[in-house]
Structures are given as structure tokens and as C-alpha cells.
């Protein structure tokens, strides 16, 4: 069956479902499921993700179809309505997933348990970045962001107003962020 014929059949089933025919609705969802699963797997693969999330995308798409079925216009073609919903659910899944990569922790047990790791390397790296800031910003960022102090503590210790501390903190963090990009 050609795609256009299949979509016409789906539109007919959707019209019947909207009119209250539960069997037509069940038939529609049964026909859509494998097609949506294939599309979800393809979309996830193109995004470089495993298809383990494909079933979630399919279920979310079917749920959205169910919730939005009244928005389907009986005279309109079914395909664009369906694929818009499916595309949005795939994009939602990709956004939720972000750029995270799942790696089994067993592959890194020996590295994580390494006693040769020196925290002083991190401290030296932080100090090196802080040294690039003007003295006022450096002191504020160190007290608040590194040492965990409050705005009040920094203001008292540096004899600054709370507003000046906030401005220095914001500027210092913005400067560090810009350097690290």
C-alpha cells in the first residue's frame, strides 16, 4: 500500500474514531504503532542515539495523538498532522536526553579508584583562572564561589557594600565563563 493510500485510510479511521467508533480508533492506533516505532528509531539513530528510547517516543506520540485527536480537521490530510506530532515528540526526547552520553561505570572503576589523583592539581587550576581576574573580583569570587561564603561575609571581610559584592561576583563569574568558553 502506498503512503498516500495508507494516510487516507488513517484519516478515515480517525474521522470514525472522532465520531465515536472505538474499534476504528483501536485499529488506527494498532496501524500507527509500528510506523511510529520505525520513525522514532530512525530519528534517534540520525541523532547518534541508541534506539532504547524509541519505545518512549512512540508511547508519548500515541498519547499526544489521543489527547490532540479533537484538533484533527476531518477535511485536512492526516499525514502532516501525524508527523508534526511525531516530530515534536522526538525533539522533546532529544532535548530531555541532551548531550549526555551513558557509559558503564565498570569501564572506569580502576581510574576512579586511583589513589595517585592529586586534588592539588584542581586547586592550582582554579587559582590560575582566578589570577586572571582583577583583585576585587578575584577576592569576591574566592570568598563566595570557592570558599562557600555568603554575600554578607564577603562584604564584611572586604569592607564593601553588599551591592558592590554582588556586582563584583557577577562580573568575575561572567569573565571566568567567557575565558572558559
Q: Which domain holds residue 7?
A: 3-97
Reference 88, options 99, 100, 80; nearest CA is 80
Q: Are residues 78 and 138 in the same domain?
A: no
Distance from the first to the final alpha carbon of the chain? 52
Give yes or no for a contact between 172 and 140, defined as CB atoms under 8 angstroms apart: yes
Q: Are residues 19 and 78 in the same domain?
A: yes
- Count up the domains in the chain and report the number: 2
Q: Are residues 90 and 151 in the same domain?
A: no
Give the 3-state secondary structure of residue 114.
coil
Tell me whether residue 13 is in a domain: yes
What per-residue confidence (pLDDT) applies to 81? 93
Tell me whether residue 133 is in a domain: yes
Cell match 586572571: residue? 132
Q: Are residues 88 and 157 in the same domain?
A: no
Q: Are residues 50 and 122 in the same domain?
A: no
Return the DSSP state at 133. Answer: S
User: Which H or E run contains 11?
Assistant: helix 3-18
Give yes or no for a contact between 35 and 54, defined as CB atoms under 8 angstroms apart: no
pTM of the model: 0.54
Q: What does 87-126 look like in DSSP terms, one character per residue?
A: HHHHHHHHHHHTT-----GGGGHHHHT-TT--HHHHHHHH
Q: pLDDT, tens digit, for every residue of 146-169? A: 888 899 999 999 999 999 999 999
What per-residue confidence (pLDDT) applies to 49? 74
Q: Are residues 9 and 81 in the same domain?
A: yes
Tell me whether residue 71 is in a domain: yes
* CATH code for the domain in which residue 44 is found: 1.10.1740.10
Tell me whether residue 110 is in a domain: no
Domain boundary among 97, 126, 143: 97
Q: Are residues 86 and 9 in the same domain?
A: yes
pLDDT by 10s per residue, the chain, length 181: 677 788 889 999 999 999 999 999 999 999 999 999 999 999 888 887 777 778 999 999 999 999 999 899 989 899 999 999 999 999 888 888 765 566 666 766 665 555 555 555 566 777 788 888 899 999 998 898 888 889 999 999 999 999 999 999 999 888 888 887 6
* CATH code for the domain in which residue 134 is found: 1.10.10.10
- The rounded distance, in Å, linking the Cα atoms of 156 and 122 is 28
Give rounded-to-5 percent helix, strand, coil for the chain.
Answer: 80, 0, 20
Amino acid at each position: 500500500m502506498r503512503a498516500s493510500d495508507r494516510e487516507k485510510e488513517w484519516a478515515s479511521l480517525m474521522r470514525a474514531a472522532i465520531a465515536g467508533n472505538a474499534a476504528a480508533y483501536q485499529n488506527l492506533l494498532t496501524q500507527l504503532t509500528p510506523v511510529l516505532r520505525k520513525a522514532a528509531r530512525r530519528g534517534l539513530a540520525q541523532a547518534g542515539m541508541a534506539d532504547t528510547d524509541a519505545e518512549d517516543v512512540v508511547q508519548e506520540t500515541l498519547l499526544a495523538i489521543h489527547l490532540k485527536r479533537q484538533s484533527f480537521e476531518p477535511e485536512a490530510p492526516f499525514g502532516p498532522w501525524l508527523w508534526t506530532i511525531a516530530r515534536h515528540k522526538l525533539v522533546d526526547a532529544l532535548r530531555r536526553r541532551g548531550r549526555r552520553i551513558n557509559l558503564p561505570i565498570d569501564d572506569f572503576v580502576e581510574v576512579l579508584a586511583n589513589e595517585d589523583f592529586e586534588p592539588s592539581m584542581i586547586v592550582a587550576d582554579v587559582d590560575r583562572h582566578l589570577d586572571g581576574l582583577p583583585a576585587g573580583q578575584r577576592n569576591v569570587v574566592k570568598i563566595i564561589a570557592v570558599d562557600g561564603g555568603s554575600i554578607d561575609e564577603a562584604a564584611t571581610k572586604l569592607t564593601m557594600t553588599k551591592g558592590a559584592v554582588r556586582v563584583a561576583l557577577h562580573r568575575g563569574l561572567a569573565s571566568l565563563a567567557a575565558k572558559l568558553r
